[in-house]
Structure 1
Amino acid sequence: MKVVLGITGSIAAYKAADLASQLVKAGHQVDVVMTRAATEFITPLTLEVLTRRPVLVSLEDEKQSWKPGHIELADGADLLVIAPASADVIGNFANGLAPDPLSAIYLALPRTTPVLIAPAMNGKMWLHPATARNVAQLREDGCHFVDPAEGLLACGYEGVGRLAPVEQILEEIARFVPGGQ
């Protein structure tokens, strides 16, 4: 299965390395797309080594070919997973904005390609009415969610907002694998 793994700006971005590694070990082709903010938390090189594939961060990375890489990734994806998903990217997706390759891939996906979103953010941000509206819109659009977990957050608060455990995200991904593998 071809998985496009989107990583956004969250301290939980480091957990995406484990997720990518587990997906590769399970036999999936994993193409990573990172927002610029994600690169502040984990380097593209780490993900390139784990996936053995180039990592897309900006549209400037696509200059090797006449065909836009984000369109090619969208066309070839069997599943789009965003983990961690920031409030910013959730808002972009819900409102049809494409300021980065990840959001452009989301908009260019065939409507039959499943999307799994695993948010991670400050609890106040997760519980804000604007975020709730954006999540509701994405659910209505057919996106699936692995809701954030509760616990101690990186900002020092206690509450909801932690990225769901990698094992839980992998269990949700398995639901989209043909034959349940």
Structure 2
Amino acid sequence: MKNVLLCVTGSIAAYKAADIANRLTKDGYHVEAVMTESAQELITPLTFRTLTKNRVYSNMFQEYEPDKVEHISLAKKTDLCLIAPATANIIGKIANGIADDMVTTVVMALKDVPVYICPAMNTNMYENPIVQRNIKTLSELGYYFIEPKSSYLACGDLGKGALADVELIVETVEQHLKK
């Protein structure tokens, strides 16, 4: 069974990550969720624990299992990491090597593991030259991106920045894992 690490960040699209977790779990993948503090303001860890039947990780300093360094343990058993939704903040942190929460420390500990990043943010944020530079940097380093779509956004704006369709995200992940 392939292990998918689903990293959920503080975009309003975080509720769609529950559908991603549910679909991947039903398709036979072992899914573990890692959440930022901001993500937990939008959706609860209980949702992911219920859908995946697995523990949800969020606190770098909580002892989940005795004698384990959780971010290293998670990184070692991951076959694919999916960051959905990915905020401008998390993209910037990863692009600049900042590891100050459970999501970023696990991502920094991954080695030879594909990381798919699914941006979700306001159009102006997505098109910001700094965000685009961070995306370019990560792409050059071998990170994969599933582009956001154009849609009406939570703020009422129309433009590119909405999380890609759940079906596309799940299909992309499953195709990669079947290689």
Same fold (TM over 0.5): yes
Pair 1:40 & 2:41 matched: yes
Pair 1:17 & 2:25 matched: no
Q: CA deviation at 1:68?
A: 1.1
Give the 3-state SS of the residue equivalent to 1:47 in structure 2. Answer: helix
For structure 2, the 5+ residue unaligned runs are: none
Q: CA deviation at 1:91?
A: 0.4
> What's the counterpart of residue 140 of structure 1?
140
Distance 2:86 2:94 in 1: 11
Q: CA offsets per residue over residues 5-56 of structure 1, 9 Å max, x none?
A: 0000010000000000000001000010000000011000010000000100
Q: CA offsets per residue over residues 119-174 of structure 1, 9 Å max, x none?
A: 10011000000000000000011001100010100011110100001001012102
Q: CA deviation at 1:177?
A: 1.3
> What's the counterpart of residue 89 of structure 2?
88
Give the 3-state SS of the residue equivalent to 1:61 in structure 2. Answer: coil
Q: Partner amino acid for 1:24?
A: T
- Structure 1 vs Structure 2 CA RMSD: 0.9
> What's the counterpart of residue 53 of structure 2?
52
Give the 3-state SS of the residue equivalent to 2:89 in structure 1. Answer: helix
Give the 3-state SS of the residue equivalent to 1:31 in structure 2. Answer: strand
Change (3 A) 1:58 1:118: same
> What's the counterpart of residue 78 of structure 1?
79
Alignment of 1:145-156 (within 5 A): 145-156=145-156
How many residue pairs end up in the alignment?
178
Q: CA deviation at 1:63?
A: 4.8
Distance 1:43 1:135 in 2: 28
Pair 1:171 & 2:171 matched: yes
Q: Partner amino acid for 1:129?
A: P
Q: Which runs of 4+ in 1 moved over 2 A?
A: 60-64
Q: Partner amino acid for 2:178?
A: P
Distance 1:161 1:109 in 2: 27
Question: Under a length normalisation based on structure 1, what TM-score does the superposition of the two structures give?
Answer: 0.96
Q: CA deviation at 1:176?
A: 1.4
Q: CA deviation at 1:60?
A: 2.7
For structure 1, the 5+ residue unaligned runs are: none
